[in-house]
Amino acid sequence: MANDKFVSQIADIEEDFPRWYTDVVVKTKLVDYGPVKGTMVIRPYGYAIWENIQREIDARFKKAGVENAYFPLLIPMSFMTKEAEHVEGFAPEVAVVTHAGGAKLEEPLVIRPTSETIIGHMMGKWVESWRDLPLRMNQWCNVMRWEKTTRPFLRTSEFLWQEGHSVYATGEEAEAETQDMLHLYEEFAKNVLCMPVLVGRKTEKEKFAGAVATYGMEAMMHDGKSLQAGTTHYMGQNFAKAFGVQFTDKDGALKYGYTMSYGVSTRLIGALIMTHGDQRGLILPPPVAPVQVVIVPIAQKKEGVLEACNALCEALKGEGVRAKVDDSDNSPGWKFNEWEMKGVPVRIELGPRDIEGGKMLLFRRDTCEKCEAALGDTACVKALLNSISRDLYGRAKARMDERIVGANTLGELLDGVNGGNFVRAGWCGERACEDKVKEFAQATARVLDETNDMPVCVCCGKRAKHTVFFARAY
């Protein structure tokens, strides 16, 4: 178990949560700071988490019939200006290339902040007939949004993500996929990240620039703030008309398609850190942990110890468990601390007495509890990993449920967010009242609650048209 000296390396999670987060992502070697302000270097341990996230989501996309593609990083400036609301929304974040090869470019090139425009352009070339529809693609790539205030994983000038884009013959089909992908993300968050989320439609103020409707996935962090962990967007015909995405329908008429898009990013790593982490550091959900089980030899120089550890490791790997033997020359206590901070779900301690007794000692990172099992019982280890996943989700869900409160007045809403809660409140639908909530409580509308059972607007007192989850957010 981690000692006080080790724990003191990380800021107090209750007293200084932002510093705690920075300490954890740096000290566990997830990231380092890039030489350009606002950028991050994702180190191997952090990138391994992203690879596991990619693998899980990509398998879900492929099962749903989505194909991967890749589109250029550089986008002609003229593309960005074709959809007025889109260019206005992204203008403050756009990085522009004006020179290349020692000469000024005839047309400036935008480093992609998102790819609706260039993909819309290509769809306009590829779609001719109703037989070409639906066209459903995804790309894994990097994007750049020039941020003034940054924090690793949560908000950086360059980050990694996936962005899916589809075009359909009808708006009903495009809207249906917008919902389908939202719930795909919701299932992934629960079963892979062990993270409960709220999903729903965004307000007009919070929607994606150029969309008809945006839907969000919001997760509650340890400090009660919300983190937007994924979004899906129904575009209607806005981008299809801007980029000439037309097709000849079965009736012979030339029609515009209907598009939608969806995306999650490396922000998910920040989300799982701030959902599950504790004073000791990371607690990684088993499905995305680079190392699911670390085996620490006790008295490893004694005959047979390393051999037994390596045999156990190979047996676990044979069962599909990501296992590792820490055979470094550091002390067992140092190893315990190191792997606890890195959030490895299960630690196995194995020494001469254990081997002689035919047993092994298991430590679970989420509760810091120990138990014994028969040496080589891989089924027990796999069951423990599954139990950790269920318990991580259950604790996070219970915490979120306890910290969702109702409010009928601005004062109650302010008290709610000050207490680190999500606040359910009525809203009349007027932008002025939404702005007033932000001004008064520094809280924003995260998603609409479909139950819509709050009677009056929290701001003006008029009859509510919507029930909204308000929160302070990253």
Token reading at 221? 């962090």
pLDDT at 2: 45
Average pLDDT over the chain, rounded to an integer:
96
Q: What is the pLDDT of residue 7?
A: 52
Spell out the residues 6+ positions from residue 4 whose beta carbon is closer than 8 angstroms to its own.
none
Candidate from 36-40, 144-148, 367-371 with smallest mean pLDDT:
144-148
Per-residue pLDDT band at 428 (split at 50, 70, 90): very high
Q: Which domains does the chain have, with CATH numbers?
A: 4-276 (3.30.930.10), 293-387 (3.40.50.800), 404-471 (3.30.110.30)
Give tens-digit pLDDT for 403-423.
999 999 999 999 999 999 999
| pLDDT tens digits, one per residue of 338-357 | 999 999 999 999 999 999 99
Percent of the chain with pLDDT over 70: 98
Instruction: Name the pLDDT band for 1 (thresholds 50, 70, 90).
Output: very low
pLDDT band per the 50, 70, 90 thresholds, residue 83? confident
Q: Is the pLDDT of residue 5 over 70?
A: no
> Is 90 exceeded by the pLDDT of residue 133?
yes
Rg (CA), the chain: 25
Residue labelled with tokens 């750049």: 144
Alpha helices, DSSP H only, in 28-170? Answer: 44-63, 77-80, 84-90, 116-126
Contacts of 147 (CB under 8 A, 6+ apart): 38, 93, 155, 156, 157
Query: Is residue 134 over pLDDT 80?
Result: yes
